[in-house]
């Protein structure tokens, strides 16, 4: 995914016909044909011999955003996401994924992978019609061999992305019936893969992203039970890169350079470059948990947390990301992270959290969703960056500080540096929205015995509970044990710590409701219908098991005290709840060029930014919370401000538009003491997020 990577990189079910799965739907869904109600097919559990998940994702239709989160998805639909095909030829009418002669590799699948959840979560007829064109062409493109997609390439990788897209589509293609073309296409293609991979094994991108292919194979296995699908997963794992083994003894502890990778010798698709490539690492975060479903290994199951620990130690940044511009770049917060890596890391965390149930992965998911995701989008979402920096003092045509990227990397525009992120960023918000709640097993894995006087029997493998994995305003319509349940979550989180969940089953029903308590939330309180519950422990899931009746109300309050978190060279960053706070540098936006419906922009600073903090404790930070406006991730409408004291540090400067590495703290300055204001990271497009600390005087 860098400029020197060319775009052209490189039957299971015997009863399908008798089940009527070979019937075809109309060529397209009429623009006015919106789902009248969600398809409440329950979530699918893992079949034996797969290990069980801790939680199971609900079908796409079951969760809908409300409040500020719906506003974000609506803004996305009305901006670049919803109009990209009208202004960018790579996903326009001549796309290879529409049968044309245009781009025929990853960009069409990437775009559809985000467009589908966005369109159906908003029930937006215009976007559904756009998505349906890609879906129909793809589902009707299969060759007799089983291969589908553009005939101009047979690369395994772009089909891995398209499979992710059509599995989402299948779960919400119609209000009462799934599209019968999907399962046969997948079955035939996976039969083709199983036969073909020994002769044409995974290579370059597909080799390092095999786990995305495996997810779709396991998705089909859980719906059909064909054992040959598990043979395919084993083959993918054998041919794929062993990420768990790499991170067992992580070798890439320094900033990776083009010279180290020998990019001048055309080594960009060799294993060394691909193993240190940011997006590959973001996608790989789920590889251990995905493989653990077959291996049963605890080392595999814990793979995500082990990877994050190493990436944090050697390449971690204050916004929850690791540096990767384009390759791993060390802990200096002036280094960047690619936007594709952000959304792919979020998807990996969503999958790994479902499998492992680790609350820490939910903490990290929120950190990315509320900081790194909106932090690389313009307020109106008509432009984005390729690379974002926690200490970002200028966005211009810079050759520094990137490891292997080009000078447009941190511009805000249509496709700065490389167009993969233009095609791929759309999945961030809608998939996060769809992952807020998941289904769970019953009490300690099953529901047996007596619960508040109600006797429950063995429940024949059905899912028996719900879990809140992340917090944002939404509503859930799903079923547990054939009982419809409506749940609403009202909150201004992450700007406020007050969360109210109202549970309304169609009939009284006993089940566990699990609530993730962030590791930073010491002192959280919990009540049901106004009655206090035992204090929940940070870094756990608080489980409430009761006979739920319509209108039952759960109130969770998460303390939002500011926290000072140490970092690179003894610096400090300021956090409150899941939000990182930054000093907002005055911005002058200068248009570089028009790009169809949008434009490319440079941003230059209009004020000094080089502050060192005097504050050493949360008590020295004052918090000001206002109303939640229409654009909470913008400087103009930021609902939370923090104030603290600092001094300018003249010795800390920028060179060629890039903040020099932070000086080693503590530092000294004779400049006057000032009160500075911090706002949420994503609201400040030019910002300082990691600060030197002043030497304390007695």
pTM of structure: 0.92
What pLDDT was estimated at residue 38?
45
What pLDDT score does 44 carry?
A: 79
- The answer to whether residue 78 scores a pLDDT higher than 90 is yes
Task: Please report, for the chain, the start and end positions of each structural domain, with discontinuous segments joined by +.
Answer: 92-240, 437-469+498-557, 562-688
What pLDDT is attached to residue 448?
29
Strands 658-659 and 454-456: unpaired
What is the reported pLDDT for 176? 52
Strands 465-468 and 509-517: parallel
Higher pLDDT pick, 140 / 453: 140
- CA distances from residue 350 to 87, 115, 344, 479 in whole angstroms, order as listed: 31, 18, 10, 21
* Average pLDDT over every residue of 442-469: 49
Instruction: Tokens for 633, please give them.
Output: 């991730």
Q: Give the bridge partners for 691, in sequence order.
A: 572
Each residue's pLDDT tens digit, 262-286 = 988 887 789 999 999 999 999 999 9
The SS3 call for residue 68 is helix
Question: 490 to each of 494, 579, 623, 662, how far by Cα in Å?
Answer: 12, 19, 22, 40
At 14 the pLDDT is 33
* Cα pseudo-dihedral 84, 89, 94, 97, rounded to 10: -60
Distance from the first to the final alpha carbon of the chain: 52
Q: Can you read off the two tokens belonging to residue 213?
A: 């292919």
With H, G, I as helix, E, B as strand and everything else as coil, classify residue 111. Answer: helix
For range 344-373, the mean pLDDT: 98
Distance of alpha carbon 656 from alpha carbon 574, whole angstroms: 27
User: What phi, psi does 596 have (nearest 5°)?
Assistant: 65, -120
pLDDT at 172 over 90: no
Coil, strand or helix at 484: strand
Query: Is residue 592 scored above 70 in pLDDT?
Result: yes
Sorted by sequence, the CB contacts under 8 Å of residue 610 that are 6+ apart come out as 648, 649, 650, 652, 653, 659, 688
Question: What is the pLDDT confidence band of residue 417, given thresholds at 50, 70 and 90?
Answer: very high
pLDDT at position 265 is 86
Average pLDDT over residues 365-372: 98
- Is the alpha carbon torsion for 681, 687, 692, 693 positive or negative? negative
Q: What is the pLDDT of residues 548-557, one digit of tens each?
A: 999 999 999 9
Structure tokens at 692: 């030197």
Please choose, from the candidates 683, 684, 695, 689, the residue with its C-alpha nearest in 3D space to the C-alpha of residue 647.
695
Least confident piece of the model among 38-47, 316-325, 458-467: 458-467
With a cut of 50, say whether residue 35 has pLDDT above it. no
Q: 448: burial class by Cβ within 10 Å (0-12, 13-18, 19+)?
A: middle
CB under 8 Å to 38, separation ≥6 — which residues?
A: 59, 61, 62, 172, 175, 477
Q: What is the pLDDT of residue 16?
A: 31
Radius of gyration of the CA atoms of the chain, in A: 25
Find the range with the poorest average confidence among 150-159, 442-451, 630-639, 642-651: 442-451
Q: How many CA atoms lie within 13 A of 173 on its CB side?
A: 23
Question: Which pLDDT belongs to residue 455?
Answer: 25
Contacting residues for 289 by C-beta, under 8 A, at least 6 apart: 300, 301, 303, 304, 351, 352, 355, 356
Neighbours of 142 (CB within 10 A): 18
**Per-residue pLDDT at 59:** 87
Query: Per-residue pLDDT for 530 more than 90?
Result: yes
Q: In this structure, how many other beta carbons lie within 10 angstroms of the beta carbon of residue 648?
A: 18
Say yes or no to pLDDT of 251 above 90.
Answer: yes
Does residue 206 carry a pLDDT above 70?
yes
- Contact of 568 with 561, CB cutoff 8 Å: no
Whether residue 49 has a cis bond before it, omega within 30° of 0: yes
Instruction: Please tell me the predicted confidence (pLDDT) of residue 269.
Output: 87
199 contact partners, CB below 8 Å, separation of at least 6? none
pLDDT surpassing 90 at residue 236: yes
**b/e burial code for range 291-302 (CB count within 10 A of at least 16 → b):** bbbbbeeeebbb
What span, in angstroms and rounded, lies between the C-alpha atoms of 612 and 608? 12
Q: Is the pLDDT of residue 47 over 50?
A: yes
Q: What average pLDDT does the structure give for the chain?
A: 91
Quickly state the pLDDT bin for 686 (edges 50, 70, 90): very high
Distance of CA 145 to the CA centre of its chain: 34
CA–CA separation, 152 and 532 (whole Å): 63
Under 8 Å between Cβ of 458 and 446: yes
Task: State yes or no: pLDDT of 637 exceeds 70.
Answer: yes
What is the spatial distance between Cα 568 and Cα 8, in angstroms, rounded to a whole number?
Answer: 39
DSSP state for residue 202 in the 8-state scheme: -
Q: pLDDT tens digits for 318-334? A: 999 999 999 999 999 99
User: Residue 538 corresponds to which tokens in the numbers above?
Assistant: 């940070």
Whether the per-residue pLDDT at 167 is higher than 90: the answer is yes
pLDDT interval class at 1 (50, 70, 90): very low
Average pLDDT on 302-328 reads 98
């Amino acid at each position: 995914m860098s400029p020197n990577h060319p775009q052209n990189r490189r039957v299971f079910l015997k009863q399908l016909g008798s089940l009527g799965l070979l019937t075809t739907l109309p060529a397209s869904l009429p623009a006015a044909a919106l789902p009248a109600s969600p398809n409440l097919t329950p979530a699918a559990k893992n079949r034996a011999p797969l290990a069980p998940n801790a939680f199971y994702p609900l079908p796409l239709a079951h969760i809908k955003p409300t409040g500020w989160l719906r506003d974000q998805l609506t803004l996305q639909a009305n901006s670049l996401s919803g109009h990209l095909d009208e202004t960018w030829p790579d996903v326009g009418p001549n796309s290879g994924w529409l049968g044309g002669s245009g781009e025929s590799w990853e960009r069409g699948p990437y775009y559809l992978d985000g467009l589908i959840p966005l369109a159906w979560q908003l029930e937006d007829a215009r976007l559904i019609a756009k998505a349906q064109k890609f879906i129909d062409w793809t589902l009707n493109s299969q060759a007799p061999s089983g291969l589908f997609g553009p005939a101009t390439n047979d690369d395994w990788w772009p089909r891995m992305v398209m499979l992710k897209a059509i599995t989402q589509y299948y779960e919400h293609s119609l209000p009462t019936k799934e599209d019968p073309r999907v399962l046969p296409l997948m079955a035939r293609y996976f039969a083709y893969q199983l036969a073909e991979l020994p002769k044409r094994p995974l290579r370059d991108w597909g080799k390092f992203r095999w786990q995305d292919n495996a997810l779709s194979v396991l998705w089909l296995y859980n719906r059909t039970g064909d054992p040959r699908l598990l043979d395919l997963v084993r083959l993918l794992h054998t041919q794929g890169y062993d990420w768990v083994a790499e991170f067992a003894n992580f070798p890439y502890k320094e900033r990776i350079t083009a010279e180290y990778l020998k990019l001048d010798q055309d080594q960009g698709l060799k294993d060394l470059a691909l193993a240190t490539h940011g997006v590959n690492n973001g996608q790989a975060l789920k590889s251990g948990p995905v493989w653990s479903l077959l291996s049963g290994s605890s080392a595999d199951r814990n793979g995500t947390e082990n990877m994050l620990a190493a990436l944090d130690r050697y390449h971690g940044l204050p916004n929850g990301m690791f540096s990767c511009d384009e390759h791993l770049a060390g802990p200096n917060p002036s280094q960047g992270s690619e936007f594709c890596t952000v959304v792919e890391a979020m998807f990996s965390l969503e999958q790994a959290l479902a499998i492992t149930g680790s609350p820490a992965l939910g903490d990290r998911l929120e950190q990315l969703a509320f900081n790194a995701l909106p932090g690389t989008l313009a307020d109106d979402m008509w432009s984005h960056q390729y690379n974002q920096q926690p200490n970002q003092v200028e966005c211009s045509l810079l050759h520094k500080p990137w490891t292997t990227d080009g000078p447009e990397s941190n511009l805000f525009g249509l496709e700065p540096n490389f167009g993969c992120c233009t095609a791929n960023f759309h999945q961030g918000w809608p998939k996060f929205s769809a992952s807020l709640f998941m289904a769970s097993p019953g009490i300690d894995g099953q529901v047996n015995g007596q619960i508040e006087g109600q006797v429950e029997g063995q429940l024949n493998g059905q899912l028996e509970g719900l879990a809140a994995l992340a917090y944002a305003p939404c509503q859930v319509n799903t079923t547990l044990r054939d009982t419809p349940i409506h749940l609403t979550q009202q909150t201004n989180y992450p700007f406020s710590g007050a969360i109210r969940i109202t549970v309304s089953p169609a009939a009284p029903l006993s089940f566990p409701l699990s609530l993730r308590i962030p590791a930073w939330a010491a002192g959280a309180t919990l009540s049901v219908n106004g009655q206090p519950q035992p204090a929940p422990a940070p870094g756990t899931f608080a489980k409430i098991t009761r006979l739920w009746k319509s209108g039952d109300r759960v109130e969770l309050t998460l303390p939002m005290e500011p926290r000072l978190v140490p970092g690179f060279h003894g610096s400090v960053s300021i956090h409150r709840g899941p939000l990182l706070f930054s000093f907002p540098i005055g911005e002058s936006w200068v248009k570089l060029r028009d790009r169809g419906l949008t434009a490319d922009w440079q941003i230059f600073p209009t004020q000094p930014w080089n502050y060192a903090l005097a504050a050493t404790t949360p008590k020295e930070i004052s918090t000001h919370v206002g109303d939640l406006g229409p654009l909470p991730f913008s400087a103009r409408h930021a609902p939370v401000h923090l104030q603290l004291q600092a001094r300018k540090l003249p010795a800390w400067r920028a060179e060629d538009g890039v903040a020099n590495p932070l000086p080693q703290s503590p530092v000294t300055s004779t400049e006057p003491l000032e009160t500075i204001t911090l706002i949420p990271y994503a609201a400040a497009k030019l910002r300082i997020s990691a600060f030197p600390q002043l030497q304390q005087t007695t």
